[in-house]
Amino acid sequence: MLKYVRGTTKQAGIYYNKRMTDRISKYFSLYIFIITIFFTRIALFFFWDMSFMFSQKQDLWHHMYLGILFVFVSLFFHGKVSTYLRPIGLGLFADEFIHFFHLIGIINEVDYWSRQAITATTISVLLISFFLIKIKERPL
């Protein structure tokens, strides 16, 4: 029989270490965040048709916007929906962080695989990873 120990929480008759579940939740979000970036890069490498992009004058939809939408929607949900939507949205946002520099006119390079784009993605991954670890998330 389990005894109640300070710092534990009883859920459905089982005692959980609250600190451990918070830590698992934070790292779980970090893993989803990094896996989202990884799968987005792989999908765009294998399935993206650049001939369509070069025939257009402007590319008006970026997956960064979908990431912002996911993060915004996750603010209205609690629990598992928020636990999954927030890191996926942050991953989509971080993967195309270079688009902000395009919008303000600092960078004119349009190649998604350029050194500047990968550097900006790496910096955004490091910053968002730091904040995901520091933010106290709800346990699963």
Q: What is the mean pLDDT of residues 2-22?
A: 50
For 54-63, the CB contacts below 8 A with 24+ separation are 62/96, 62/99, 63/92, 63/95, 63/96
Asked whether 96 and 62 are in contact (CB, 8 A), the reply is yes
Asked whether 59 and 44 are in contact (CB, 8 A), the reply is no
Average confidence score pLDDT of the chain: 75
Token pair in block for residue 10: 């009883």
C-alpha distances in Å from residue 131, one per residue of 48, 51, 125: 31, 37, 10
Break the chain down into helix, strand, coil percent, rounded to 5: 65, 5, 30
Looking at the predicted structure, is the pLDDT value of residue 46 above 80?
yes
Please count the helices (runs of H) and the strands (runs of E) in the chain: 6, 2
Listed by start position, the domains of the chain span: 1-51+62-134
pLDDT at 38: 92
Looking at the predicted structure, is the pLDDT value of residue 16 above 50?
no
